[in-house]
Amino acid sequence: MKNQLNEKCAIFGVFGDSEIASRQTYFGLFALQHRGQEYSGIASTDGTDIFSFKGQGLVTQVYTEETLKELTGFCAIGHNRYSTSHGGGPEHAQPIIINNIAFAHNGNLPSVKALIDFLEGKNIEAGDLSDSELMAEAIGVYVKEGLSLPEAIEKAYPLFTGAFSCVALSKDSLVAFRDPCGIRPLVIGKRKDKIFFASETCALQTVGADFLREVEPGEMVVVNKDGMESKILEKRAPKFDIFEFVYFARSDSVMLEKSVYEVRKNFGKILAQEYKLDIDIIIPVPETAIPSAIGYSQETGIPFEMALAKNRYIHRTFIEPLQDNRDTKVKMKLLPLTSVISGKRVGVIDDSIVRGTTSRQIVKMLFEAGAREVHFLVGSPPVKFPDFYGIDTPMQKDLIGSQKTIKEICEFLGATSLSYLSIDGMVKATGLPKERFSLSAFDGVYPIDLFDRTSEFTMDVPKD
């Protein structure tokens, strides 16, 4: 559920737009709204100056026609933000502007010691800066010393320890680069003579660009008036975060040459093979679990029903419900169709369970709507370990999968039964080898060194 895990961030960039590049960036960010809803920003250049605008809220709330007209130029980058590292206020919104460059980052650096030591060695106060701001400052140091933007990024790159997919612009160049593991997604698109970068392919489709390829792990791609060039900054060791397939990506995106929709449908099919339940209907928790429910239905022949109606206009609210009505948040988003549920043995499927509180309320809601039985299915394994690479997961002690067995979780939910997709089943659904993925949320194996943050989790979790 989206109210349990918060998205990371979205980045977008375009070079060579004879129209106003900021308009293309606006539509790209609109397509990537699901990856961050707290702040949005765009920076552009006309070759002489860099212009920027940032604000709090959804893309449609932040920008106006007048705003976009002021963001002139042939090149622009944009960012939708959800705060992951420290630095959650509006002053930390991106793109970050420093020394005539603009910078935007999706991901998270679990250790910033090398960056802080470097900047303090340059007499730059680093204590209150977010990981993204530290990265921008380091690149800015080398730009100030006379290096071009690509040269500055290459020089600063060894200081970046963690997950990062980034775009940056100067007055004459657009640069995209990615960490050696490729934890977070980043793709390249083209439309006529324009080059685009985006977190997901759905944004390329929105602006009418054709998908070219991914930015490779460890690669830097530079675009300027002379064309597009690539340079490998560090040997690739790909470990894509499988949670992109489980939850974060839009279902109409393509990742690792795989349709996210088809992979999620496969989650449901394999879950049906692992757990054959005697139920009357299968219903999804909208939206991410819809393909999995379709897959489960196709594999079993059990009727698929959209029996949880989602309020399509709900995004986010700053008004908290009264404490004596804890169901209000869920009921603002989801309401059961009693006529479909009443008297039925219901299978309800969700993409994941994090804290378990929302899932518990959904089970309660279904029973109140007259369900005879409520069997809860999950299109991923138990989430037992926190994320350090750009997902705002709770601390491990708040992850129900790290504190309770599956039987105990089922009792907490009040469900008739609880069935999780296995790790092997989840990987099988992608059609890719297990070694290609980071499975850290499920197995506690972190492909990028966490340094001192390893003390924030334990491998002593329930074994089911």
Q: Which residues are catalytic?
A: 9
Which token pair is 155? 């020089």
First to last CA, the chain: 23
Tell me which DSSP letter residue 252 carries.
T
Report angle CA 444, 447, 451 to the nearest 5 degrees: 85
Which alpha helices (DSSP H) does 55-112 contain, by range? 59-62, 65-70
CA–CA separation, 163 vs 310, rounded Å? 33
* 373-378 vs 417-420, strand pairing mode: parallel
Which residue matches tokens 């989206």? Answer: 2
DSSP readout, 164-181?
Answer: EEEEEE-SS-EEEEE-TT
CB < 8 Å & 24+ apart, contacts of 152-158: 152/101, 153/177, 153/220, 153/233, 154/220, 154/231, 154/233, 157/220, 157/233, 157/234, 158/114, 158/234
Q: Residue 293: CB partners within 8 Å, gap ≥ 6?
A: 268, 282, 283, 284, 304, 349
The residue ranges of DSSP E strands in 63-158, in sequence order, are: 75-81, 96-98, 101-111
Rounded Cα–Cα distance for residues 84 and 87 (Å): 8
Looking at this protein, which amino acid is placed at residue 110? P
Neighbours of 84 (CB within 10 A): 28
d(CA 173, CA 144): 16
